[in-house]
Amino acid sequence: MPESLIELADRMFVGPVWPASILVCLMVGYTLLAVIGLIDLGFDPPDLDLDPGMDMDVSLEGVGLGAPDGPDVSIDFLHGLGAGSIRATNFGRVPLVIWGGVFTVAFWSVSYGLWHTFEATLFSPPGWFSSSLLALPNAVIAVAVTKCVTQPMLRHFVPPPKYGHEKLLGATCEICTIEATGEFGQAKFRTNAAPLLLNVRTDGPHIPKGTEVRIIGFDRDKRIYKVAHLQQETTS
């Protein structure tokens, strides 16, 4: 093997540059397989339900993760918080191959540049623990770079919303939290793609999970939909 290649490998597979270099190798291998037609390169955004649907009212009674005497944190709230954080990075909003390619290049560039600029003099010889600690902030920086680079691409991959609140009024949806009340609740509105996750409030009674309800109002300031039980409409 030429001495130049050995030197390049020594510089690539060292310290916190290790995980970034492995990711580069995987990305190159994936691209080569796509070029020869063995796999689909995949320029369609992944079909992921990353609608955060967050509701900041976390004092929901019922199954939660809080202390027995303190306020409970709803599973749906935690799911919404995690989905909102992932969505903020544009992951799932642009094709995975583009997001992954930008992240890989950014991750490797940051890791390689920081290590061979000054980190090698502070953490030499690199151990697994120190390398792992150094790789984490590199990944965070790479995610931020990926967010900035992919942001202008959203208009090419994210279609404009087809379901404004005007079109949702009078339609039906399904309660997806433990229950919906006048203070808390979420519902799924079925579409041809992933369902929309809506923050809802009832007009009084508690409505259990899985119940079909009708959307009867919308609060523009809080972006919350008011719903009513279909059986109530029938009896009235």
Of 113, 134, 157, the residue that ends a domain is 157
In a domain, 81, yes or no: no
Q: Is 164 exposed, middle or buried (0-12, 13-18, 19+ CB in 10 A)?
A: exposed
Residues 181, 223 within the same domain: yes
Number of domains in the chain: 2
End-to-end CA distance of the chain: 84
Compute the mean pLDDT over every residue in the chain, rounded to the nearest whole number: 78
pLDDT tens per residue, range 78-125: 555 556 677 788 887 888 888 999 999 999 999 999 998 988 888 877
Instruction: Please report the DSSP string for 48-73 in residue order.
Output: --------------SS-SS-TTS---
User: How confident is the model at residue 68, as a pLDDT?
Assistant: 46
pLDDT tens per residue, range 11-47: 888 889 999 999 999 998 988 887 887 776 665 555 5
In a domain, 63, yes or no: no
The gap from C-alpha 67 to its chain's centroid, in whole angstroms, comes to 27
The gap from C-alpha 58 to its chain's centroid, in whole angstroms, comes to 20
Residues 143, 102 within the same domain: yes
Say how many residues make up the chain: 236
Of 157, 184, 202, the residue that ends a domain is 157
- Domain of residue 34: give its range: 3-48+92-157
* This model's pTM is above 0.75: no
User: How confident is the model at residue 10, as a pLDDT?
Assistant: 83
- Backbone φ and ψ of 56, nearest 5°: -80, 0
Split at pLDDT 50, 70, 90, the class of 147 is very high
CA distance 49 to 87: 10
Residues 35, 146 within the same domain: yes
Beta partners for residue 175, in sequence order: 187
User: How confident is the model at residue 118, as a pLDDT?
Assistant: 86
pLDDT at 71 exceeding the cut of 80: no
Nearest of 88, 111, 137 to residue 14 by alpha carbon: 111
In a domain, 85, yes or no: no
pLDDT at 225 exceeding the cut of 80: yes
Residues 21, 103 within the same domain: yes
User: How confident is the model at residue 56, as a pLDDT?
Assistant: 41
Nearest of 25, 33, 85, 27 to residue 54 by alpha carbon: 85
Place of tokens 């996750």: 197
Place of tokens 């997001």: 99
The gap from C-alpha 211 to its chain's centroid, in whole angstroms, comes to 27
Q: Is the dihedral of CA 208, 196, 149, 96 positive or negative?
A: positive
Stretch 196-215: mean pLDDT: 89
Give the CATH number of the domain where residue 230 resides: 2.40.50.140
CA distance 61 to 185: 12
pLDDT at 180 exceeding the cut of 50: yes
Residues 106, 25 within the same domain: yes
User: How confident is the model at residue 161, as a pLDDT?
Assistant: 52
38 vs 171 pLDDT, higher one:
171
